[in-house]
Structure 1
Amino acid sequence: MGGLVALTLFGLPVIAMGVIALRDSLRLRTRGATATAYYMDRSRNGATYINCSFTTPDGRRIERGYAHSGVGLRPGDAVEIVYDPARPRNSCLAEERSTNWRLGAFFVSIGVGLTGSGLVGLAFRLL
């Protein structure tokens, strides 16, 4: 029974992560501003990331990594990004703007599946 409770409780933060990702994606789609970021370098932490920097209209310099192969990019190359003016670190590559909601939907789906499985299991245990 403890495993079912753990399964149920584990699903809740997964749902929360998905909801946050969906919220951030929606903000980028509705309020996002575009900027030109400049490719700095590439790093590998289990996946390939490109590190870029851009400057907001108020002069803040933002450095951030984006999941991307970096193939064909050289340091100093321009890359278009979309960012939330209220939270500039919430940004994505412009080419991914229309697809980054999928990650949030994936987490919500997995979380609902985990939580639902745990609740159904608990219900059958209690009957």
Structure 2
Amino acid sequence: MPPRSSPSARSGASYFPPNDSATYRDLLLFEERLKTNAANLKRRKHKYQLFLFQLLFVIAFLLCEVILPPHISILAIPYKFVLQRILPAVYTAEVDVYVHPYLSTGLLFVSVTTLLLFFASGMYSEKIGYANK
């Protein structure tokens, strides 16, 4: 079979597009689309990085809640505040409020599972890693 000849060799035409205003406009639109896509990827990357850092902070906080003794509970402070706002006659300032230990353990389990699914599902490489490319 004889070798194929390239189209430019056959027709003698130039490989480059014509230098007119339509081509220039198309290049400007293409460049603007690239810039917009890059900005969207960067914004999405920052959003998912914020989610990841918040998730790591929550895991560290809940790990401290689980490891520390039950009488030193940071979760009890907002819990007591909410209960005092809802039922002020029952929960006065002198009443000690304790959070059930399974609550912080359960929240820690949910947070760690979310972190594992974030990496195992490929969301990290899709949302954050792809934006770095």
TM-score normalised by L of structure 1: 0.45
Q: Which one has the bigger strand percentage?
A: 1
Q: Which has the larger radius of gyration?
A: 2
TM-score normalised by L of structure 2: 0.43
